[in-house]
């Protein structure tokens, strides 16, 4: 028996079929239809699923479930997306609508960061562990936590918003309206903000020179590349950035004592250049001497698809 995972993002909808061996058999994607009518996304989702099944000569009746991953808050009991602003989903009965396209197939929905953590648990960096924390570094900070083999969605099922725990009291403004959130200091957007600010003050820096004086051309990769090549200004920014990530890891270690912490998202592609200073910080400041292993997430862009397909194993 196989299962179907759907990763619904603001830029694209990706669908995959996952086999009994938990391996991704096939996948395909289409752009998310930003038409102003969320029902158009249902048409895209159902079309993708139907097309993928036809291409692989598979019958939906043999699917264990259709799992849906969305960047938003979930009402688990009713299968409703409470809010997913990038998708224009508000009180949106996603499970019901997709289920109507495939009668008889069980449909589940989950937050995308949680689904990605589930993917890492079954098929990626968390394999062999009963607990693990996934921290995804993108424009914002996503987080998914598995404890004792179960996805943690909060005591009141409001979700797991680790990126909006306060790291610096009364610090930088966050998109959520709070100040000083982990996201305000550890996201790729935060690295860009600090890189542009420093380059504006240090025109002799490699960042400023490579951007040809246009600060809008400074992105996270440019800051990281310049730091790796030894630029003093970029190195100072990056060192401070990894210290914030190290402090974030220490907070997670003290609160949850996970066996493993995996960093995902675009910034994590920096590999050991990112992880080494985070590990060093954790070795020095973590509350527990024998603390979580700190690694890079393994599943990359497929984590949401695979995790969504695994939702039937958690419900």
| pLDDT tens, residue order, the chain (315 aa) | 899 999 999 999 999 999 999 999 999 999 999 999 999 999 999 999 999 999 999 999 999 999 999 999 999 999 999 999 889 999 999 999 999 999 999 999 999 999 999 999 999 999 999 999 999 998 889 889 999 999 999 988 888 999 999 999 999 999 889 999 999 999 999 999 999 999 999 999 999 999 999 999 999 999 999 999 999 999 999 999 999 999 999 999 999 999 999 999 989 999 999 999 999 999 999 999 999 999 999 999 999 999 999 999 998
* Token digits of residue 222: 């440019």
CA pair distance 14, 4, nearest whole angstrom? 11
Residues 116/277, Cβ–Cβ less than 8 Å:
no
Predicted local distance difference test score (pLDDT) of residue 175: 87
Q: What pLDDT is stored for residue 315 in this prediction?
A: 83
Q: Is 134 exposed, middle or buried (0-12, 13-18, 19+ CB in 10 A)?
A: buried
DSSP 8-state class, residue 204: T
Burial class (CB within 10 angstroms; exposed 0-12, middle 13-18, buried 19+) of 136? buried
User: How far, CA to CA in Å, does 95 sit from each of 78, 120, 161, 231?
Assistant: 8, 23, 22, 50
Q: Would you say the CATH fold of 128-297 matches that of 2-119+302-313?
A: yes
Q: Does domain 128-297 have CATH number 2.40.160.20?
A: no
Query: What own/partner pairs with CB < 8 Å and gap ≥ 24 does 239-244 have?
Result: 239/277, 240/194, 241/185, 241/186, 241/190, 241/191, 241/194, 242/274, 242/277, 242/278, 242/281, 243/277, 243/281, 244/167, 244/182, 244/185, 244/186, 244/190
Given this model, what pLDDT does residue 102 score?
A: 97
Cα(80)–Cα(74) distance, rounded to whole angstroms? Answer: 6
User: CA–CA separation, 71 vs 4, rounded Å?
Assistant: 18
Domain boundaries, the chain: 2-119+302-313, 128-297
Most distant pair of Cα atoms in the chain: their distance: 64
For residue 116, give both structure tokens: 């990605």
Look at residue 261 and give its three-state secondary structure: strand
Q: Which two tokens stand for residue 267?
A: 């910034």
Spatial distance between the Cα atoms of 163 and 264, rounded to a whole number of angstroms: 13
Rounded Cα gap, residues 164 and 84, in angstroms: 16
Q: What is the pLDDT of residue 134?
A: 97
Question: Following DSSP, what letter does each residue of 111-146 receive, concatenated?
Answer: EHHHHHHHHHHHHSTTTT-S-EEEEEESSSEEEEEE
Q: Is 26 exposed, middle or buried (0-12, 13-18, 19+ CB in 10 A)?
A: middle
Rounded Cα gap, residues 180 and 170, in angstroms: 6
Q: Which superfamily, per CATH, for 2-119+302-313?
A: ATPase, nucleotide binding domain (3.30.420.40)
Give pairs for 147-153: CB < 8 Å, separation 24+.
Answer: 147/256, 147/258, 149/121, 150/314, 151/110, 151/114, 151/117, 151/118, 151/121, 151/314, 153/74, 153/76, 153/111, 153/114
């Amino acid at each position: 028996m196989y299962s179907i995972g759907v990763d619904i993002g603001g830029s694209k909808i990706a669908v995959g079929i996952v086999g009994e061996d938990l391996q991704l058999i096939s996948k395909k994607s289409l752009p998310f239809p930003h038409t102003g009518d969320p029902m158009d996304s249902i048409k895209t989702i159902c079309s993708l699923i139907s097309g993928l099944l036809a291409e692989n000569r598979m019958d939906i009746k043999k699917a264990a479930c259709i799992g849906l991953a969305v960047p938003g808050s979930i009402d688990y009991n009713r299968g409703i997306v409470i809010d997913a602003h990038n998708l224009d989903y508000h009180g949106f009965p996603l499970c019901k609508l997709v289920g109507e396209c495939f009668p008889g197939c069980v449909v589940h929905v989950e937050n995308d960061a949680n689904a990605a953590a589930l993917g890492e648990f079954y098929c990626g960096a968390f394999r062999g562990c009963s607990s693990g924390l996934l921290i995804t570094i993108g424009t914002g900070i996503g987080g998914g936590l598995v404890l004792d083999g179960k996805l943690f969605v909060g005591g009141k099922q409001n979700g797991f918003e680790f990126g909006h725990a306060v790291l610096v009291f009364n610090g930088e403004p966050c998109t959520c309206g709070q100040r000083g959130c982990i996201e305000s200091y550890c996201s790729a957007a935060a690295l860009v903000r600090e890189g542009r600010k420093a380059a504006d003050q240090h025109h002799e820096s490699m960042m400023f020179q490579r951007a040809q004086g246009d600060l809008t051309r400074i992105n996270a990769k440019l800051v990281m590349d310049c730091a790796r090549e030894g630029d003093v200004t970029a190195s100072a920014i990056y060192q401070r950035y990894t210290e914030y990530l190290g402090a974030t890891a220490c907070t997670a270690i003290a609160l949850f004592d996970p066996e493993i912490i995996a960093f995902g998202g675009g910034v994590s592609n920096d590999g050991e250049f990112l992880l080494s200073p985070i590990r060093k910080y954790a070795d020095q400041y973590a509350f527990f001497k024998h603390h979580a292993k700190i690694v890079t997430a393994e599943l990359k862009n497929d984590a949401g698809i695979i995790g969504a397909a695994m939702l039937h194993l958690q419900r």
